[in-house]
Amino acid sequence: MENKTLLLEIGTEEIPAHAMPNILDQLKTSAEAIFKDNRIAIGAIKTLGTPRRLALLIDGVATRQADVSEERRGPSSKIAFDAEGKPSKAAIGFARGQKVKPEELITRDGYVYAVIHQAGRPTDELLKEMLPKIICGLSFPNNMRWGDLDFKFIRPIRWLVALLDEEIIAFELANVKSGRISRGHRFLSAGEFSIARAADYIADCEKNFVLVDQDQRRAMIVAEIEAVAKEHGGRAEITDDLLEEVLYLVEYPTALAGAIEQKYLSLPAEAVITPMRDHQRYFPVKNFEGALLPLFITVRNGGREYLDIVRHGNERVLKARLEDAKFFFEEDRKKTLEEHREKLKTVVFQEGLGSVYEKTERLEKLSSKIASMIKASDADRAHALRAARLSKADLVTGMVTEFTELQGVMGREYAKLDGEPIEVAVAIDEHYMPRFAGDAQPQSTAGRILSLADKIDNLVATFSRGLIPTGSQDPFALRRQALGIVNMLVEAQWSLPISELVDEAMDLLGICDDDRREKMQSDVADFMKLRLKNVLAPDIRYDVIDAVLEEVDDIYAVTLRARAVEHFLNAPDSARIVQAFVRAGNIAKKSLAMSIDEKLFEADAEIVLCKAFNAVKVVASELIAKRDYVGALEALQKLAQPIDSFFDSVMVMAEDERVRSNRLGLLKSIDALVKGVADFGKIVL
């Protein structure tokens, strides 16, 4: 069948850069689904985008919808045919209703069927309805209306191009009629241009100074930035986030460098980079030793003409921002962090939960508790406590008030300048980690202690106000913090009971009511459980995760148990062993007591099992205490054979109640020991 190329271009006012990747994905998915629903075969599908346009380019579009045959069931054969085998009234009526002749009905499985052939309609006709549907099917984080329309889109739609090869697919949406007229670059092109054939789209755009293909544009941006950086003897720091944003801020990129006055480079590097990168979307440039060079690179939405004007303008703006930063820095330095800390008394932590000053007092106590739990050295403890005291002092400095993303970073820099030990400075910075999904974890012991203290305090405080994250609602980023706790405990290999920290945090926050305390413990445990699940999910079987999640107080141990069980299940005869454990566990549910009286054993098999248990128990308990769960499972599996023999020859439910409960007691004891590693009943064999 003949194939054509389809172009749909939605011309808009500037779409927010951060929304573009998702919109382009949606556009593709939605187009694929709608073409499939309409039974139109298509080839390669490509979505393209710039700030001012979303485009869909599809190759190999069949010119007709696929024909379709549908069978519709009618009356049963018994009713459909009379004694001579001729169609009955019922069959004739059914055939008429389906617009087929009675003799065309077919019989199968005791029923008659009408076969309806539906010839495919021409694609161009269908597209008139499909294309608006594709556009309307897109959803956005923020919708808007414009003019006097009710129609909503991410930004106003100003033109529409819809071509199937040369042919215009005519439709109207949001008061705009589709056609072949597109618009070029706002400032470089002559304005409107006409597209003759869908397949010419990318080339036509380029002639009009629009690099519509984001992959091509991204490559060009990177090449431009790298060339400019090289020219100045440095290397540009191209972060993915910023590159992706700049990509959707320009249609025709040209990179250029601007100068930074040397005097601003005496500021901490982050204090220079943050206004540059986060506020101005400039790329910082470093020399090959990693030191910041006195220049920035910006990507202009335009060509090489008048670059000096653009450079000068951008230099002025950055200068004003850095001048602000320098002013704040120098003002801040007139006081030490210890002195700034006083002002935290006036800063509310969370409604009804006192000041941030009081929070730092809690952090000192929590840090002390954690230091004891992990048997930290005296130095680590002292550093953690000092860092806890100063941890929030930078929040009231001018620099952090102006550039909030520098919290912790300025604390670190000011602590260094105050002459605090470097460990204290590092811990102040690290305690906010991870600052975003995928960010680094704290590495120093003091940083880890303080980070854990801060996150536990945040969780308990926020939960105490009933603000447990649900759905997309997580204004305090508690999920990220809880995930940070899990990852950090695993990385640090710290075994400690979270519930004791939660208890301490509640004491410090003055949460006394028993019911509230109990609920808090279970809410926090449930919350941590979900994060643990996420951490384990990529490389641990889901049933293994379920088998170890019953008890999550010691998070690091949970992950070790999960890995040990996963390892154990890979052994060839693990299934048999698991079955033995499960069998013992199932019947043990019938008993509560764990007492064993060896004198009451009658059969050889139970005496053997009891002996085996006594021997294994000593070894396994010791290994479990050392968190050697692989070793513990190796020891435990020695019980499988005796368990099997026991069940083969011993009747658990003996008539003598004492004998019966003694046997149950033995099984219960075995089950309890095994469950110290995992609940094998959850394992899917």
Partner 1 sequence: MKFQELVFALQKFWSERGCVLAEPYDVEKGAGTMNPFTFLRVLGPEPWNVAYVEPSRRPADGRYGDNPNRLYQHHQLQLIMKPSPDNIQELYLESLAAIGIEAKKHDIRFVEDNWESPTLGAWGLGWEVWLDGMEITQFTYFQQVGSQDVKPVAVEITYGLERLAMYIQGVENVYDVEWTAGVTYGDIFHQNEFEQTSYAFDLSDEAMLFDLFEKYEREAVRVIKLGYVHPAYDYVLKCSHTFNLLDARGAISVSERTAFIGRVRKLARMCADCYVKQREELGYPLLKKSEVKA
**Residue 301 or 367: which CB sits closer to partner 1?**
301
Dist. CA 305–CA 24, nearest whole Å: 31
**Nearest to residue 254, comparing CAs of 223, 286, 208?**
223
- Residue 506 Cα distances to 67, 239, 400, 524, angstroms: 69, 41, 29, 12
From the CB of residue 142, how many other CB atoms can be counted at a distance below 10 Å?
9
Dist. CA 48–CA 124, nearest whole Å: 22
User: Using CB under 8 A as the criterion, what x/- string covers residues 370-409 for binding partner 1?
Assistant: ----------------------------------------
Dist. CA 277–CA 270, nearest whole Å: 10
SS3 45: strand
**Nearest to residue 643, comparing CAs of 573, 581, 561?**
581
**Residue 307 or 619: which CB sits closer to partner 1?**
307
Provide, rounded to whole angstroms, the least separation between the CB of residue 161 and partner 1.
17
Q: What is the DSSP letter of 195?
A: -
Provide, rounded to whole angstroms, the least separation between the CB of residue 510 and partner 1.
18
Dist. CA 530–CA 534, nearest whole Å: 6
- Residue 299 forms beta bridges with which residues? 255
**Residue 113 or 357: which CB sits closer to partner 1?**
357
**Nearest to residue 234, comparing CAs of 293, 277, 276, 281?**
293
Dist. CA 32–CA 19, nearest whole Å: 20
- Asked if residue 18 binds partner 1 (CB under 8 A), the reply is yes
**Identified binder of partner 1 from the candidate list 41, 136, 170, 317, rule CB under 8 A:** 317
Total binding residues toward partner 1, as defined by CB under 8 A: 45
SS3 content of the chain, % helix, strand, coil (to 5): 55, 15, 30
- Asked if residue 14 binds partner 1 (CB under 8 A), the reply is yes
Structure-token match 């054939």, residue found: 197
**Identified binder of partner 1 from the candidate list 115, 196, 291, 348, rule CB under 8 A:** 348
**Identified binder of partner 1 from the candidate list 2, 109, 231, 351, rule CB under 8 A:** 351
- Asked if residue 467 binds partner 1 (CB under 8 A), the reply is no
**Residue 302 or 434: which CB sits closer to partner 1?**
302
Dist. CA 410–CA 397, nearest whole Å: 9
The residues, any chain, with a CB within 8 Å of residue 466's CB and separated by 6 or more, are: none
SS3 110: coil
- Asked if residue 326 binds partner 1 (CB under 8 A), the reply is no
**Identified binder of partner 1 from the candidate list 50, 65, 274, 314, rule CB under 8 A:** 314
The residues, any chain, with a CB within 8 Å of residue 83's CB and separated by 6 or more, are: none
- Asked if residue 190 binds partner 1 (CB under 8 A), the reply is no
How, if at all, do strands 283-286 and 292-301 pair?
antiparallel
SS3 98: coil
SS3 560: helix
Angle between helix axes 378-390 and 422-430 (nearest 10 degrees) is: 60
**Residue 156 or 484: which CB sits closer to partner 1?**
156
Dist. CA 39–CA 120, nearest whole Å: 8
**Residue 301 or 458: which CB sits closer to partner 1?**
301
**Residue 316 or 519: which CB sits closer to partner 1?**
316
Provide, rounded to whole angstroms, the least separation between the CB of residue 262 and partner 1.
18
User: Using CB under 8 A as the criterion, what x/- string covers residues 266-285 for binding partner 1?
Assistant: --------------x-x---
Stretch that binds partner 1, among 84-92, 109-117, 219-227, 309-317 (CB under 8 A): 309-317
Interacting positions 574-633 with partner 1 (CB under 8 A) = none
Provide, rounded to whole angstroms, the least separation between the CB of residue 267 and partner 1.
18
Dist. CA 84–CA 93, nearest whole Å: 18
**Identified binder of partner 1 from the candidate list 180, 217, 300, 668, rule CB under 8 A:** 300
- Asked if residue 302 binds partner 1 (CB under 8 A), the reply is yes
**Residue 46 or 311: which CB sits closer to partner 1?**
311
Interacting positions 139-158 with partner 1 (CB under 8 A) = 142, 144-148, 155-156, 158
- Asked if residue 320 binds partner 1 (CB under 8 A), the reply is yes
Interacting positions 204-263 with partner 1 (CB under 8 A) = 249-250
**Residue 144 or 615: which CB sits closer to partner 1?**
144
- Asked if residue 447 binds partner 1 (CB under 8 A), the reply is no
The residues, any chain, with a CB within 8 Å of residue 344's CB and separated by 6 or more, are: 355, 356, 357, 359, 360, 392, 393, 395, 396
Provide, rounded to whole angstroms, the least separation between the CB of residue 174 and partner 1.
10
Structure-token match 């389906």, residue found: 98
User: Using CB under 8 A as the criterion, what x/- string covers residues 159-178 for binding partner 1?
Assistant: ----------------x---
Stretch that binds partner 1, among 57-65, 75-83, 185-193, 442-450 (CB under 8 A): 185-193
Stretch that binds partner 1, among 1-9, 37-45, 346-354, 421-429 (CB under 8 A): 346-354
Residue 57 Rama label (left phi>0; alpha psi -120 to 50; beta): beta
**Identified binder of partner 1 from the candidate list 97, 122, 233, 313, rule CB under 8 A:** 313
Residues that bind partner 1 (CB under 8 A): 13-14, 16-18, 51, 142, 144-148, 155-156, 158, 175, 186-188, 249-250, 280, 282, 298, 300-302, 305-306, 309-310, 312-314, 316-320, 323-324, 346-348, 351
